[in-house]
Structure formats: structure tokens, C-alpha cells
């Protein structure tokens, strides 16, 4: 007898589930997790204390409007708290945007090696992802605009992008926006904004403030070191914030996450220390890996895309196996269409030095 169970929508079954970075390595070696762009500095001690303090009230539902957290974010960035929404990671907000604006037949454009959640969220909402080619592993405004059709509802842009680490100067972001119809929502995903030191970069607050069709998403998972708590936020036009508020879970952000987020945003010294660490080791790792003869895509984030050759024994897969066996867990990026590369998160000094020594050994053998 054949039992036929419930069948999900075809678009759901067309999704290849997101595979997070590995956190283990074979054997009993000490593991350095350099696969998910987490900060080696951890969260602010103030955020940890606030998190612990929230343990006394776990029986209570959190404030469903994340009011105190929105106030803290608004104060930090000079924003109107009414135009901010918080979520269980920025992933949640990206998905809620897709559910709010896409249905069957609607298109969302993203760039070739853009963050995978855009495709997943688009398909999950029943929409169609449309991929624009990149130039030099960098989003290309002309290519993105060329993919816009009458059915386009959303354009997703990670700036800087994960996993490439490349970015678009703000002039280019403005040119992209200028080329979009007012009914198309431009989603600027600035998950790594705090790390960027380029003078021509801006996360996009000015565009959000001056237009009716731009949102910017941010996260507490990266520089704030709160990935485990799942906390993100988004600022945008009232109409967009209102739409997303209608469909989000009524208590989508937990009380400990809110408390930690408020404390984290107030500890600017901790953020500065994380930026300084990244500046130092991003430059050092880039130079050292290039000196080994590896091609490294210039990155403005807290990670590097390292390229390998297709020669047997020297591929990205071979390097991944070699590094993993020594406790160094990097990220395979095949799912991003980059089978010959590995993504390396900037780690603590000891791990960074070990990566270079291990890759030297890998290339010499």
C-alpha cells in the first residue's frame, strides 16, 4: 500500500537547504572554526553580563516590539526607532521581506556569488531568483539592472558580499538605486559594514533616509559576536517596516538576545578592538597567502576567499581535507559556484599563523 503524505509546494522542494560552516574536524586535534565569519574576540563582556542577567525572567514573554533595542539602535545610528524592525538574525528579516513582497511569478535579482539566503528566501516565498553575472567576483550594477523586468519586486545586494569579500562603492550603489523603478525594493545587506575601511564605502543609511524603496539589514552575529543568540535589525520606509511587522512572529526576538544586543551596541571599545584585530590580520593573511603563491580575492570583510588550482592533490577539496585534519575548519563554497576556493574567517593570531604554516606545508608536499 502506498501512503502518500503531505506534499510541500514544488518551489520548496527546489531549494537546496543552506549548509552552515562545519564546526568539527576529524580526530582529536584542537579545532579552529574559521568557517562562519564569527569574531575571534567573542562578544562584549557587557553583553555576556546582560545575557546572564536575563536568566532571572525566562518565564516572561519578551517585549514583542523590541522597543528598548530599537531605541538603542536608533540612538547609535541617529535613526527613527519607528522605522526599525528587529529579527532573529538578519536571515529572518531577509526571509520576511521575500514573504512580504514575492509571490509566484515575481522575481528577485541577486548577483552571481551573492549570499545564498537570497535564493532560498525567494524560492521559499514562491518567487523566482534571477542571477546577474559579476565582474571580478564583484557585483556589477549594469548586469543587475539588465536583469530587471516588469516582474522584478526585490533586488538583494550584500555589500560587502559574502563569500567574496568584495564591495560596491557607494556611488555604484546609488547608481543601482537610480536605475530601479520606485516599486522595486532594494535590499542592502550590510552584515559586515563595521569591518569596512574603504573611504568610498557606505552601508546605505543615506539612501534609506532619502528614498521610499531601500532597506538596510544589519546583524549582531558578526562584529558583535552574538551569532548564537540570533539577532539582526533592519531600517527602511514605514510602509516596508509595517508590512514585515504584520507577518513576523509576535515574539520573534528573545529577551536575552535583546538585553545582550543593547549592551553590545553600547560597548564601542569592544567593536573598535574587533576592527583593529581584523585590520591587522586581514592584511597579514592576505599578504602571507599571496606570498605562498595563492590567489586571494581582496576583501573588506572579516574573511578571505582563497583560490586553489584544479591540479590533483592541490584542489580546494584537497586543501580542505589537509587543513581539517589539522583542526583548521574553513568553508567550502561550492554551493556559491566557487568549487576552486575556500573561505577563511580571520581568526585569533594563533589560528591565523597556523593556517599559513599549514597551507605552506600543503603546497610544498
Residues in the site for ligand PLP, rule: CB under 6 A? 37, 89-91, 115, 158, 162, 189, 191, 219, 221, 227, 232
In the complex with ligand PLP, which residue's Cβ is closer, 100 or 162?
162
In the complex with ligand PLP, which residue's Cβ is closer, 236 or 362?
236
Q: DSSP state, 159?
A: S
Give the residue among 155, 134, 176 at the shortest CA–CA distance from 297: 134
CB atoms within 10 A of CB 350: 11
Helix-helix angle 349-364:268-291, to 10 degrees: 10
Position with the least CB separation from ligand PLP: 89
Distance CA 48, CA 346 (A): 22
Coil/strand/helix, residue 57: helix
In the complex with ligand PLP, which residue's Cβ is closer, 282 or 359?
282
In the complex with ligand PLP, which residue's Cβ is closer, 44 or 219?
219
Closest distance of CB 234 from ligand PLP, Å? 10
In the complex with ligand PLP, which residue's Cβ is closer, 155 or 359?
155
Closest distance of CB 311 from ligand PLP, Å? 30
In the complex with ligand PLP, which residue's Cβ is closer, 90 or 128?
90
In the complex with ligand PLP, which residue's Cβ is closer, 192 or 362?
192
Distance CA 221, CA 218 (A): 9
Closest distance of CB 253 from ligand PLP, Å? 12
Closest distance of CB 232 from ligand PLP, Å? 4
In the complex with ligand PLP, which residue's Cβ is closer, 122 or 288?
122
Closest distance of CB 220 from ligand PLP, Å? 7
Q: Which residues have CB under 8 Å from 179's CB, separation 6+? A: 141, 145, 148
Question: What cell numbers appear for 312 in the block?
Answer: 590533483
Closest distance of CB 87 from ligand PLP, Å? 8
Distance CA 168, CA 15 (A): 28
Closest distance of CB 183 from ligand PLP, Å? 24
Closest distance of CB 160 from ligand PLP, Å? 8
Dihedrals phi, psi of 331, to nearest 5 degrees: -110, 125
Closest distance of CB 124 from ligand PLP, Å? 15
Distance CA 167, CA 180 (A): 19
Distance CA 218, CA 235 (A): 9
Spell out the alpha helix ranges (H) of the chain.
10-13, 45-53, 67-77, 89-101, 117-124, 141-146, 170-178, 205-210, 238-247, 255-266, 268-291, 316-325, 349-364
In the complex with ligand PLP, which residue's Cβ is closer, 111 or 162?
162
- Using an 8 Å Cβ cutoff, are 327 and 29 in contact? yes
- Using an 8 Å Cβ cutoff, are 328 and 25 in contact? yes
Amino acid at each position: 500500500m502506498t501512503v502518500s503524505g503531505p506534499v510541500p509546494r514544488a518551489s520548496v522542494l527546489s531549494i537546496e537547504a543552506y549548509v552552515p560552516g562545519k564546526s568539527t574536524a576529524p580526530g582529536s586535534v584542537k579545532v579552529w572554526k574559521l568557517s562562519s565569519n564569527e569574531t575571534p574576540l567573542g562578544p562584549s563582556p557587557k553583553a555576556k553580563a546582560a545575557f546572564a542577567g536575563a536568566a532571572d525572567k525566562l518565564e516572561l514573554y519578551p517585549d514583542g516590539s523590541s522597543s528598548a533595542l530599537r531605541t538603542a539602535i536608533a540612538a547609535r545610528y541617529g535613526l527613527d526607532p519607528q522605522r526599525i524592525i528587529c529579527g532573529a538574525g538578519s536571515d529572518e528579516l531577509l526571509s520576511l521581506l521575500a514573504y512580504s513582497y514575492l509571490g509566484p511569478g515575481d522575481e528577485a535579482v541577486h548577483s552571481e556569488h551573492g549570499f545564498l539566503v537570497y535564493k532560498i528566501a525567494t524560492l521559499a516565498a514562491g518567487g523566482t531568483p534571477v542571477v546577474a553575472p559579476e565582474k571580478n567576483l564583484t557585483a556589477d550594477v549594469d548586469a543587475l539592472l539588465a536583469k530587471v523586468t516588469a516582474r522584478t519586486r526585490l533586488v538583494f545586494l550584500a555589500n560587502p558580499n559574502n563569500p567574496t569579500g568584495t564591495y560596491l562603492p557607494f556611488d555604484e550603489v546609488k547608481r543601482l538605486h537610480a536605475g530601479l523603478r520606485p516599486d522595486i525594493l532594494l535590499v542592502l545587506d550590510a552584515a559586515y559594514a563595521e569591518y569596512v575601511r574603504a573611504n568610498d564605502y557606505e552601508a546605505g543609511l543615506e539612501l534609506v533616509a532619502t528614498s521610499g524603496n531601500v532597506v538596510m539589514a544589519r546583524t549582531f552575529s558578526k562584529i558583535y559576536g552574538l551569532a548564537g543568540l540570533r539577532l539582526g535589525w533592519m531600517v527602511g520606509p514605514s510602509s516596508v517596516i509595517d508590512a514585515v511587522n504584520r507577518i513576523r512572529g509576535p515574539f520573534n526576538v528573545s529577551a536575552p538576545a535583546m538585553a545582550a544586543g543593547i549592551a553590545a551596541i553600547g560597548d564601542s571599545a569592544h567593536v573598535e578592538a574587533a576592527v583593529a584585530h581584523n585590520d591587522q590580520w586581514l592584511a597579514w593573511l592576505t599578504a602571507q597567502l599571496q606570498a605562498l603563491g595563492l590567489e586571494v580575492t581582496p576583501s573588506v570583510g572579516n574573511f578571505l576567499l582563497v583560490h586553489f588550482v584544479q591540479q590533483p592533490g592541490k584542489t580546494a577539496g584537497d586543501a580542505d581535507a589537509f587543513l581539517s585534519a589539522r583542526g583548521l575548519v574553513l568553508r567550502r563554497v561550492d554551493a556559491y559556484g566557487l568549487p576552486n576556493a575556500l573561505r577563511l574567517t580571520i581568526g585569533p593570531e594563533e589560528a591565523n599563523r597556523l593556517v599559513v604554516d599549514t597551507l605552506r606545508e600543503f603546497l610544498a608536499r
